[in-house]
Structures are given as structure tokens and as C-alpha cells.
Amino acid sequence: MRITKVLHSNYSILDNFVLQSKKLSFKAKGLYAFLVSAPNDFKWDSFTLQKLANSKENAQDLKEALKELEKFNLVSFKTFKDKQGSKEKMLIITEFNTKD
């Protein structure tokens, strides 16, 4: 069987480590793929993610998937102050695992 990939200008590239990892749940893999595909200025919280992804998982499931991704250093969080001095949380997505 021959496999042909049709790529469009609006696509994302994921490291196969993430998709083929036996240590990550499908829920975490799917959330990672969704986050990688989101624009850099994407504003989110677990309820927004649930709604935008048309997810059947609840907000708690998404939080658990984020924790799973964080455990494997695929995402991290940074807290900073915005221009008005309010605290804001930034999600940093890494392309590959640094801790296997």
C-alpha cells in the first residue's frame, strides 16, 4: 500500500515521539496536537479549550492531560505580569521530550 500525504499551507508538524509514546495517554496526545495547532496569541483556559476543541472531556480531564504533558516536559507554565501589572499565566509548548 502506498501512502500519500497532501499538505496544505495551514498545517502543524508534530514530533513522532509525542504521537508514538506509550507513556502518554491518547487524551494528552490529542491535547498536545490541538495546542501545537493553536496560534501563538491563543488565549485559553480549560473551559475555553473544552469548547473550542468540541471536546467530550470535561475541564478536569483537560487539566489532567495538561499535567501529564507537563510531567514529560512537553508543556510548562510561566507566570508574569502584563502591562497593567496583573498576573498572567503563559503556556510554553516544547517540540520534543527532554525527559524520557
Q: Which residue intervals of 5-93 are DSSP H helices?
A: 16-20, 26-37, 46-52, 59-71
Spatial distance between the Cα atoms of 92 and 49, rounded to a whole number of angstroms = 16
pLDDT on residue 4: 42
pTM: 0.75
pLDDT on residue 70: 93
pLDDT on residue 43: 73
Q: Which residues of the chain have pLDDT under 50?
A: 1-5, 98, 100
Q: What are phi and psi for residue 37, nearest 5 degrees?
A: -80, -15
